[in-house]
Chains A and B, each alone.
Chain A
Amino acid sequence: MNGLVMIAVLFFGALVQSVLPPLRILGFASWPVLFSLAVYFGLARQRVEALCAAFLAGLLQDSLSFIPLGFSSLSYCVAVWIVFRFRNEVFIRAWVTHLIFGALANFGVILALAIMLIGMGFVRLPWTLLVWKLAGGLVLGAVTVSVVYPMADHLYSFLGLEYQDQKA
């Protein structure tokens, strides 16, 4: 059941992300809906779920764009691993946590993707636009995770699929 809900949620996230246009004012950074869902799973769910979500979110992201398969999965898995590693040190339901984790994690993911895509010649981007995009990624990461986390959390509560550690 958990797996099915996770797939449905990611699928829906991919759809939402596909109709939200990248923002010019933020260096064409895209709304990281899929990644925010991966961060939610990293913060609030079990390890296996978190990793599978990161892997699948990356797979969806790459399939729906020109990014070579595996780049986003790798970035998302590393980011979610870091989120998972530090989640016991923070209040996972506090909005400040979502804000900070979202911003930093999305910044890291964009940086990692930039290194891979530019380094391998898939993308040509002036460094000024890259800096702008990274700044945009910080803002959009903070905003998107702050919006996506409570929604996903409510959905899981509504379905009665809360993770045991969360209930305690």
Chain B
Amino acid sequence: MQNKGLVTWLLILAFVLLLLNMPAMVSDWTKSTVRGSVAPLQHILGSASLRLDESITVFRGLGGMIRKNREMSEELIQLRTRVRALEAAEGENLQLRAQLHFAQRSSRHLIPCEVIGRDTSGWWHSIRLGAGGRDGIFPDTAVITSDGLVGRTTEVSARVTDVLLLSDPGCRVSAQISRTGAHGILEGGGEPLDGLVRCRLRFINKSIPARAGDEVVTSGLGGVYPQGLLIGYVEKVYLDKGGLYQYADVIPKADLGMLNYVFVVTEEEDILADLLRETGPVRGAHE
């Protein structure tokens, strides 16, 4: 009996050790499979929970407005993103006209997604979306709401996608201050117990003063986040201890604690850019 018990423990220990030392590919596949099998029911439960929330709101006298509000939010986000994309495209176009040397231009597409869950472990600030690879979502793409940037996709399986929120200390975004154009690296400050989410914009050039209220947007550097997505506003500016840089507290515009619907921003390569690459930049552009 004693031996049987020992064998059981040793077997389980062996399994755990095997799990801990799995190659990344096998580990990812295992995770993806388990998440995929839980996803349909999670989707139902998440949707039910969302509908319950909405029903409660209806009883509070805001009925009828919810759908309209959602439709308008979707339209607003489409329009805002389009304006920002056009602004970026305008600047880019001017540059191209001057140089006639560019490799690629992109257009943005928004994939609407429902939030079906939050991080179950309590160690990360993340949400789970009810759409995945089969809907055209890839890892490391920006996620936004009508208010602004929310985070980026991390683990994507066929039906669900995990999103690391801006508030997570592990989430870093290359950002810039709209007014001055000064660049910096934005990182999550966790979610303090008072509930007010703050991020920190580090490494801002100290010779370009930032001030409270400045708008912070994505810079487009790094390849994950497209240029010009609104992140939030500067709350307070500090001088680095070493005196080399400024850093600032930034309050994200999007309410990261109340996310029901979000949009994944995907970029599709412009066919024209492909053609230009094939035929040669200068000649192709003139034609």
A→B interface (CB under 8 Å): 11, 14-15, 17-19, 21-22, 24-25, 27-30, 47-48, 51-52, 54-55, 58-74, 77, 81, 113, 117, 122-126, 129, 132-133
Contacts and interface: CB of A to CB of B under 8 A. Distances in A.
A66 B124 contact: yes
Nearest to A28: B122
A74 B155 CA distance: 23
Given A19-B117, A61-B121, A69 B22 contact: yes
Contacts of B45: 15, 18-19
Contacts, number: 129
Contact of A63 (B34, B117, B126): B34
Given A14-B38, A18-B45, A18-B117, A65 B27 contact: no
A77 B31 CA distance: 19
11 contacts: A14-B38, A14-B120, A19-B117, A30-B119, A30-B120, A30-B121, A55-B16, A63-B34, A65-B124, A66-B155, A68-B27
Interface stretch (B4-12, B173-181, B203-211, B224-232): B4-12
Contacts of B5: 47
Contacts of A124: 169-170, 190
A65 B9 contact: no
B126 A66 contact: yes
B142 to A, nearest CB: 19
A66 B162 contact: yes
A29 B251 CA distance: 24
Contact of B31 (A52, A69, A81): A69
Q: Which 10 A-B pairs have the closest CB atoms?
A: A30-B122, A63-B34, A70-B19, A70-B20, A65-B121, A22-B122, A124-B169, A18-B117, A51-B12, A63-B31
Given A21-B118, A30-B120, A66-B119, A55 B193 contact: no
A60 B37 CA distance: 11
